Amino acid sequence: MSDKEASPAGDGEDGGPVLARNCTVDAVVAAILLVVGVVVIIEARRLGAGWTSDGPGAGYFPFYIGVIVCISSLGILWQALFSKSRDTGPFVDKLQLTRVMSVLGPAVLYVFAVVFLGLYVASAIYIALFMIVLGKYSAVKSVLIAVVVNAVFFLMFEVWFKVPLYKGTLEPLRFLGY
Partner 1 sequence: MDELGALIQGFAVVLTPTNVALMFVGITLGVLIGVLPGLGGANGVAILLPLTFSMSPTSAIVMLSCIYWGALFGGAITSVLFNIPGEPWSVATTFDGYPMAQKGRAGAALTAAFTSSFVGAFVAVVMITFLAPLVAKFALKFGAPEFFSVYLLTFCSFVGMGKGSPFKILIAMALGFALAAVGMDTVTGQLRLTFGQSELMRGFDFLIAVIGLFGIGEILLSMEEGLNFQGKSARINAKVVWETWKELPRYWVTSVRSSLVGIWMGITPGGATPASFMSYGLAKKMSKTGSKFGTGEIEGVIAPETAAHAAGTSALLPMLALGIPGSPTAAVLLGGLLIWGLQPGPLLFVEQKDFVWGLIASMYLGNLVGLIVVLSTVPLFASILRIPFSIIAPVIVVICAIGAYTVHNAMLDIWFMLGFGLIGYVFKKLDYPLAPLVLALVLGDKAEDSFRQAMLVSQGEISIMWANPLVGSITTLALLMLAWPLISKVLHKIRPPKVNPLAAQQPVD
Asked if 7 touches partner 1 (CB under 8 A), the answer is no
Asked if 49 touches partner 1 (CB under 8 A), the answer is no
Looking at residues 142 to 161 of the shown chain, list those that interact with partner 1 (rule: CB under 8 A).
145, 149-150, 153, 157, 161
Please, what is the minimum distance in Å from the beta carbon of residue 61 to partner 1? Answer: 5
Asked if 24 touches partner 1 (CB under 8 A), the answer is no
Please name every residue paired with 93 in a beta bridge, in sequence order, or none if there are none: 18
Please, what is the minimum distance in Å from the beta carbon of residue 105 to partner 1? Answer: 11
Looking at residues 88 to 117 of the shown chain, list those that interact with partner 1 (rule: CB under 8 A).
91-92, 95-96, 99-100, 102-104, 106-108, 110-111, 114-115
**Interacting span for partner 1 (CB under 8 A) from 2-10, 34-42, 170-178:** 34-42
Chain centre distance of CA 16: 24
Q: How far is it, in rounded angstroms, from Cα 157 to Cα 97?
A: 35
Please, what is the minimum distance in Å from the beta carbon of residue 178 to partner 1? Answer: 14
Asked if 62 touches partner 1 (CB under 8 A), the answer is yes
CB neighbours of residue 43 within 10 Å: 15
Check if the beta carbon of residue 7 is closer than 8 Å to that of residue 74: no
Residue ranges in contact with partner 1 by CB under 8 A: 22, 25-26, 29, 33, 36-37, 40, 43, 47, 51, 55-62, 65-66, 68-69, 71-73, 75-76, 79, 91-92, 95-96, 99-100, 102-104, 106-108, 110-111, 114-115, 119, 123, 126-127, 130-131, 134-137, 145, 149-150, 153, 157, 161-166
